[in-house]
């Protein structure tokens, strides 16, 4: 027979933390505060993107954005990356070396939309571009394509301004579809993917790139059509 939960409200967890003295509580608070500034930076960047999207949709005949996703790097993934880089001893060292704690992914219909979003965001006066990796112009050997930007945005807190890096991945629907499937396969095989599957994936990446190209051509053709009026 199991004994009844002595504290269904969950307060014992807080009491447990309290019982560990101020150090554990401080670490917990510091970590939360550390992550919060990245959450705020995500909020700022997603607001910028939402404004661009709404304005564009009001002005033109299509939306340059299919969907937007964001994520804060998990603790596990953050400490794993920081350890790999030998910078896990302090939060300052982690912040210096891991620039993708805040991540925003923008998925667009067409390749030209990807570069439009990049231009519109990076010319804003409070956005600083730290790094650009154009895996569309120069795909990875496995066929991965996406435009990666690391930007820095100011986060205005009550007593100071923090300049916080955000990794932006901008890609088309076809690129996103490929990357999601590829990621799921690598996760399933724990990175030891059979050779034939790797080849299939690289081939599928070529087909996705071709699809992007053909969709762009189709759009150009449709734009050139004179639609007869009654
Ligand atoms: P998550 O959860 O997506 O963030 P790193 O590999 O992170 O140590 P770097 O230079 O920061 O070094 O990485 P890179 O390769 O420029 O970009 C990292 C992110 O891009 C990855 O994040 C993926 O989201 C994506 N990415 C890069 N290459 C591939 C790929 O071949 N396939 C897929 N599906 N995604 C890719 P994380 O860190 O893996 O995780």
In a domain, 30, yes or no: yes
* Residue owning the nearest CA to atom 10 of ligand 1: 133
DSSP single-letter state for residue 148: E
**Look-up: residue for tokens 């650009």?**
132
Structural domain tally of the chain?
Answer: 1
Between the CA of 183 and the centroid of ligand 1 the distance, in Å, is 10
44 Cβ neighbours under 8 A, 6+ residues apart: 153, 155
Over residues 24-53, the mean pLDDT reads 93
Mean pLDDT is lowest, of 30-34, 104-108, 224-228, for 224-228
Tell me which of 97, 100, 136 to substitute to probe ligand 1's pocket, judged by most ligand atoms within 8 Å of the beta carbon.
Answer: 100
Q: Tell me how far apart the alpha carbons of residues 65 and 51 are, in angstroms, rounded to a whole number.
A: 11
In a domain, 98, yes or no: yes
Q: Which atom of ligand 1 is nearest to the CA of 99?
A: 11
In a domain, 200, yes or no: no
190: alpha, beta or left? (left if phi > 0; alpha if psi -120 to 50): left
In a domain, 225, yes or no: no
Q: Is 80 in the pocket of ligand 1 (CB under 6 A)?
A: no
Helices (H), the chain: 11-19, 22-59, 75-84, 91-97, 111-122, 173-188, 195-224
In a domain, 134, yes or no: yes
Catalytic residue list: 167
Q: Which domain holds residue 59?
A: 21-173
* Residue owning the nearest CA to atom 29 of ligand 1: 144
Q: Which atom of ligand 1 is nearest to the CA of 178?
A: 34
Total residues belonging to the chain: 230
| Residue 137: Cβ-neighbour burial (10 angstroms; 0-12, 13-18, 19+) | exposed
pLDDT category at 9 given cuts 50, 70, 90 is very low
**For the segment 117-154, what is each residue's pLDDT rounded down to a tens digit?**
999 999 999 999 999 999 999 999 999 999 999 999 99
Domain containing residue 104: CATH number? 3.30.460.10
CA distances from 199 to 141, 173, 192, 195, 204 (A): 11, 21, 13, 6, 9
Q: Is 179 in the pocket of ligand 1 (CB under 6 A)?
A: yes
Task: From 124, 168, 116, select the one nearest 146 (Cα to Cα).
Answer: 168
Between the CA of 230 and the centroid of ligand 1 the distance, in Å, is 52
Q: What is the pLDDT of residue 4?
A: 44
In a domain, 46, yes or no: yes
**For the segment 171-222, what is each residue's pLDDT rounded down to a tens digit?**
999 999 999 999 998 887 876 888 999 999 999 999 999 999 999 999 888 8
* Residue owning the nearest CA to atom 30 of ligand 1: 144
Q: What is the pLDDT of residue 188?
A: 79
Q: Which two tokens stand for residue 142?
A: 């496995």
| Residue % of the chain over a pLDDT of 70 | 88
């Amino acid at each position: 027979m199991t004994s009844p939960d002595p504290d269904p409200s969950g307060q014992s967890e807080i009491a447990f933390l309290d019982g560990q003295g101020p150090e554990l509580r401080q670490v917990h608070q510091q970590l939360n505060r550390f992550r919060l500034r990245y959450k705020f930076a995500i909020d700022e960047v997603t607001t910028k993107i939402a404004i661009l999207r709404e304005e564009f949709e009001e002005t033109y005949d299509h939306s340059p954005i299919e969907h937007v996703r964001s994520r804060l790097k998990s603790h596990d993934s953050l400490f794993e990356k920081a350890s790999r880089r030998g910078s896990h001893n302090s939060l300052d060292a982690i912040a210096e070396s891991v620039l993708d704690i805040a991540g925003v992914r923008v998925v667009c219909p067409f390749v030209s939309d990807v570069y439009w979003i990049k231009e519109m965001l990076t010319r804003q006066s409070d956005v600083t571009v730290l790094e650009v990796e154009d895996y569309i112009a120069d795909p990875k050997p496995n066929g991965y394509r996406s435009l990666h930007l690391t930007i820095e945005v100011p986060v205005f807190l009550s007593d100071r301004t923090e300049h916080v890096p955000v990794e932006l991945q901008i890609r088309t629907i076809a690129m996103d579809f490929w990357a999601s499937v590829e990621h799921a396969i690598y996760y399933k095989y724990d990175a030891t993917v059979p050779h034939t599957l790797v080849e299939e994936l690289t081939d599928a990446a070529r087909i996705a790139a071709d699809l992007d190209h053909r969709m762009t051509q189709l759009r150009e053709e449709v734009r050139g059509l004179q639609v007869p009026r009654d």
